Amino acid sequence: MHYDPYRTKLFEMRLSDIYNKYSWLSYEFSLKDFISMFPVVYKRGVPVPPDRPAGGDLDRDVFLEVLVAFRQSFR
């Protein structure tokens, strides 16, 4: 798989759904900052799942939802 802008936008849409689901995230980050915490990185043409952000104080459940959104977007 190579860079696919459609799947990247789909992942960003799912991230915005997660952001809107948890109201406390808006007190910690802006939507743009939240999405930029999870960049899509390709290694040998394959998208690599995002790591847990070091600077952000994210709940375990939120990070798991981000991983699920990544898997659903890039299967």
For the stretch 22-42, pLDDT in tens is: 999 999 889 999 999 999 999
The helix/strand/coil state of 59 is coil
pLDDT of residue 56: 66
Q: In terms of residue numbers, what domain contains 31?
A: 5-73
What Å distances lie between residue 35 and 39, 60, 65, CA to CA?
7, 17, 13
pLDDT of residue 58: 84
Contact 49, 65 (CB under 8 A): no
Q: pLDDT > 70: what percent of the chain?
A: 96
**14-23 residue pLDDT tens:** 999 999 999 9
Q: How far apart are CA 53 and CA 49, in angstroms?
A: 12
- Residue 4 — very low, low, confident or very high, per pLDDT cuts 50/70/90? confident
**For the chain, what is the domain count?**
1
Backbone angles phi, psi at 66, to 5 degrees: -65, -45
Contact 37, 53 (CB under 8 A): yes
